[in-house]
């Protein structure tokens, strides 16, 4: 492990015992081959007012980047549009091998129109650097494009209203790996109600696109629970292990 990565891990509060690194990688668990990956369970229950599939929502499947960004900026599909400052579309390398997906914008993201720009974003940048990536190397988006009031979790109907926008972003970026940060992002991406603890430690597949999905903790949670940063590092090592394997 190079000095720069060691310094980043130290800044994250993670102690790395280099002689035992091989054992730590093994403890992260094997990468599950696409055909051997376990099913992640039934999808989460949808709210009664979840929007039905319509011509408007399905149209996203044919949009290019400019049309998709314009559609998101003008979106009024769910209640979140009434309280947003602006939509938060996504940012980064549109040809990235890694795509990061969180749950939704917070207060600072709503103000600036960019995902993961507050304290959680700073930690995400450090996590990416530890994994050998600059923020500009990856593409970052959220399950919902508008800030839920008081930073609450997105409701099922709100996530459903944005689902085709995110699916189109995934299709356009065509990443090799999606890193789902946090329970809400993981459950919505994978269509499951399994806990984050049960979803960590193996590679899943995004139901709509077949893209590999790895689940880890949300940086905001890690700021509140720094003891779990070491577990997040194990997740990142599994991601790196997957990316080093033949495609």
CA separation for the pair 236, 215 (Å, rounded): 9
In order along its 247 residues, the chain shows pLDDT tens digits of: 566 566 556 656 665 554 444 444 344 444 443 333 333 443 443 333 444 444 455 689 999 999 999 999 999 999 999 999 999 999 999 999 999 999 999 999 999 999 999 999 999 999 999 999 999 999 999 999 999 999 999 999 999 999 999 999 999 999 999 999 999 999 999 999 999 999 999 999 999 999 999 999 999 999 999 999 999 999 999 999 999 998 7
Cα 167 from Cα 194, distance rounded (Å):
21
């Amino acid at each position: 492990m190079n000095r720069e990565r060691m310094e980043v891990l130290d800044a994250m509060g993670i102690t790395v015992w280099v002689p035992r690194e091989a054992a730590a990688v093994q403890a992260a668990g094997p990468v599950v081959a696409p055909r051997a990956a376990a099913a992640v369970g039934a999808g989460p229950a949808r709210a009664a007012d979840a929007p039905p599939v319509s011509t408007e929502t399905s149209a996203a499947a044919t949009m290019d980047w400019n049309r998709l960004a314009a559609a998101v900026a003008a979106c009024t599909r769910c209640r979140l549009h009434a309280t947003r400052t602006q939509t938060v579309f996504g940012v980064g390398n549109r040809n990235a091998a890694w795509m990061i997906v969180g749950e939704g914008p917070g207060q600072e993201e709503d103000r600036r129109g960019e995902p993961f720009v507050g304290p959680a974003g700073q930690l995400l940048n450090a996590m990416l650097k530890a994994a050998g990536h600059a923020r500009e190397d990856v593409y970052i988006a959220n399950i919902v494009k508008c800030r839920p009031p008081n930073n609450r979790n997105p409701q099922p109907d709100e996530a459903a209203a944005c689902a085709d926008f995110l699916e189109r972003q995934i299709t356009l970026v065509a990443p090799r790996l999606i890193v789902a940060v946090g329970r809400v992002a993981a459950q919505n991406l994978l269509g499951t109600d399994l806990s984050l603890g049960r979803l960590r430690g193996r590679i899943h597949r995004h139901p709509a696109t077949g893209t590999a999905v790895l689940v880890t903790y949300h940086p905001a949670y890690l700021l509140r629970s720094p003891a779990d940063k070491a577990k997040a590092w194990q997740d990142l090592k599994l991601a790196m292990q997957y990316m080093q394997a033949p495609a």
